[in-house]
């Protein structure tokens, strides 16, 4: 029996993932780096829509659609195939549509978040009641960032990405995302590292007071940032632009090149984004909210 008359299209949000801090604290024998990172998710992101179809199909739209591969190397399709292999015959053919609004290879987890949203959407469409631990393990097989994107709430991330400890005190926070129009290769940045046994994060604040979090952030690092700037010096221009428009804190996310700036109010973030776009219309600039635990996407 065709499933077309039983279920319709389902859409899931794929939020931008922001590494507020990222410490490289070791390296495994297999070459994977050990991290200690604080991640949170923004109210901006991509969208995945899935629906039954006569045969599998994948389409992409949005401002960054042109850079998205549509072959088997795409994480969305790898997620579909991995989940289908896991659940078997009930995984009928599907049409998947990706609305791509986040820049490609930009350090904010676009591909990983898309894969996580695909897994969530297909689990609902295929009525696959997988335990969260099994889904996280399947996600990890696709990429180190996928399990945290499945969780999609503020968390301290350790190991290679599989150790997820919820953070319950992060407040909602207005931020501006800036990407200076370049893609950065994560493996290339990791290869630049000269020190891999750096100190771990300090314990995150046990309060949702914004100033306490700002003070904590100023005492943390992104150990990939100096190396990314060495590869792509324009990242330092993006950081400087955020500071010049009033950000109380600015840092690169992940392996870059996207940077984020923290602002006191949504109005200040919107004004800064407008100014940044005037200064360089070719940059990706987005005012958004960093979502705290009580209002996660």
Please identify every residue annotated as catalytic: 17, 145
- Lookup: tokens for 50: 């899935």
Q: At what angle do helices 110-125 and 75-87 cross, to 10 degrees?
A: 30
- Bind-site residues for ATP: 103-113
Categorise residue 187: left if φ over 0, alpha if ψ from -120 to 50, beta otherwise: alpha
Q: Which residue(s) pair with 173 in the sheet?
A: 290
- Bind-site residues: 103-113
Contacts of 117 (CB under 8 A, 6+ apart): 12, 13, 14, 46, 47, 48, 149
Greatest CA separation for the chain: 61
DSSP helix/strand/coil, 286:
strand
Backbone angles phi, psi at 148, to 5 degrees: -70, -30
DSSP state letters, 199-251? --PPPPPSS--HHHHHHHHHT--BTTHHHHHHH-THHHHHHHHHHHTT-SEEE
């Amino acid at each position: 029996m065709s499933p077309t008359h039983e279920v319709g299209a389902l859409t899931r949000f794929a939020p931008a993932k922001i590494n507020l801090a990222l410490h490289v604290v070791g390296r495994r024998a297999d070459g994977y780096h050990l991290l200690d990172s604080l991640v949170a998710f923004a109210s901006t992101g991509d969208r995945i829509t899935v629906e039954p179809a006569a045969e599998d199909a994948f389409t992409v739209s949005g401002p960054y659609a042109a850079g998205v591969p549509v072959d088997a190397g795409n994480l969305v399709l790898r997620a579909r195939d991995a989940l289908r292999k896991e659940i078997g015959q009930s995984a009928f053919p599907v049409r998947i549509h990706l609305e791509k609004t986040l820049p490609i290879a930009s350090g904010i987890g676009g591909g990983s978040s898309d894969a996580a949203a695909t897994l969530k959407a297909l689990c609902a469409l295929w009525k696959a009641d997988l335990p969260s631990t099994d889904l996280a393990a399947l996600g990890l097989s696709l990429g180190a960032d996928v399990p945290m994107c499945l969780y999609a709430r503020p968390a301290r991330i350790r190991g290679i990405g599989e150790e997820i400890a919820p953070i319950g005190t992060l407040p909602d926070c207005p931020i501006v995302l800036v990407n200076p129009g370049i893609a950065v290769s994560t493996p290339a940045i990791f290869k630049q590292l000269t020190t891999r046994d750096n100190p771990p994060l300090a314990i995150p604040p046990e309060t949702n007071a914004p100033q306490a979090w700002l003070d904590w952030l100023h005492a943390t690092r992104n150990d990939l940032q100096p190396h990314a700037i060495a590869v792509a010096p324009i990242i330092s221009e993006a950081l400087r632009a955020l500071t010049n428009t009033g950000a109380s804190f600015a840092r690169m996310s992940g392996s870059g090149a996207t940077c984020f700036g923290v602002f006191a109010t949504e109005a200040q973030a919107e004004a800064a984004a407008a100014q940044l776009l005037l200064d360089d219309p070719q940059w990706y600039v987005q005012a958004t909210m960093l979502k705290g635990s009580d209002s996660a996407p």
